[in-house]
Amino acid sequence: MLLIAVLIFCSMIGCIFTVNHYADQLKELLVEPLGTLLLTLSVAAIEVSLMLVVIFHGGNNPTMLRDTVYATLMIMLNGMIGLSLITGGWHHFEQSFNLRGSLAFLHLIAPLALILLVMPNSTTTTIGPTLSPEQEIFMGGLCMLVYLLFLLMQNTRHKALFIHKQDEVALHYKPKPAIINNVNRKAAITYAVFGLISSLVPVVLLAEYFGDVINYGIEALKAPTELAALLIAILVLAPEGLSAYRAARTNQMQQAMNICLGSALSTIALTVPCVLLAAGLQNIDLTLGLFASGTTLLYATLFTTLITLSSARTTMLQGNVHIMVFLSYLFFIFYP
């Protein structure tokens, strides 16, 4: 079973890297914001398919949505931002980025994360840390509407907020080679779309087997259910995490921040509505509210990220703090 799980995991992560590759090509070939939206939808489709399989095929996974969103926030806002700051600080001492653009991401992440992961503990319509169907519909629609408005502003009127001029002349910056070399643009788009679909389909098909392995492993080993959410988040976020690390190492901290914060925001604003809708149609009650220690770590994460972004200049010291919070998250999975 362990060998099968490793083979499935390696196959899926290879396909996910391929999906990310073709989605990046389409992002550069298509007019914005269509390219960015396509890239985000590809990642969201993978994450949603994995979560739904684990939720529907596992009798003890009503917390999968909560745990996966929580894991994504911990990985991107603490793990990857911390690793990026440490890597960039080690090679370049101090790095800077566009303060207003980074805070715009956090301006949406903070309220949506608290409404989704903390507020259900205080609602009275339902018993426990859950939401009623009406509340789930409202929450899902609100997340998607706010994100679409943000995406529109990010790629049109306020595009300059998410670009740092220093990145264009960074000493170690190496421009990407042109995607199209004497090839018709339409043919290139067709090729990229075909490659994207061909890579995405195996991930969705393998999701059921991967979900069965996760559910069996958790039950057999009596492991915490949060571990399944952590594995899903790592699987989905691996390409984006690697891209953020490379950007920080080449002194493009703005790009690294955009990747980390954008991944966290897209999970809340796109994955959540899809899973809430699917669970509502299947009459599955989802546990959304975090436990006490998780709530404390979420507040610490948002507060630490706000302090880091407000400085507009980053060092290794700030990265160490983010890594400390991330290690605390991993520790409390096994010792709650």
Domains along the sequence of the chain with CATH: 2-334 (1.20.1420.30)
Hey, what are 26's tokens? 């389409």
Q: Quick one: tokens of 20?
A: 């990310």
What is the reported pLDDT for 257?
Answer: 82
Contact assessment for residue 313 and residue 207, using Cβ atoms and an 8 Å cutoff: no
Please write the tens of the pLDDT for every residue from 295-324: 999 999 999 999 988 877 788 888 899 999
- What is the structure's pLDDT at 233? 85
* Single pTM value for the model: 0.83
Q: Can you give the pLDDT at residue 173?
A: 44
Could you tell me which residues come within 8 angstroms of residue 9 by beta carbon, excluding any fewer than 6 positions away? 210, 231, 235
For residue 169, the model assigns a pLDDT of 44
CA 268/CA 76 separation, integer angstroms: 12
Low-confidence ranges of the chain (pLDDT < 70): 27, 30-40, 54-60, 98-99, 155, 157-183
Is the Cβ–Cβ distance between 273 and 144 less than 8 Å? yes
3-state secondary structure of 1: coil
Q: Which pair of structure tokens corresponds to residue 329?
A: 């998250």
- The runs of H, that is alpha helices, within the chain are 2-29, 34-57, 64-74, 81-92, 99-117, 133-155, 165-168, 185-221, 226-249, 253-266, 272-281, 292-311, 316-334
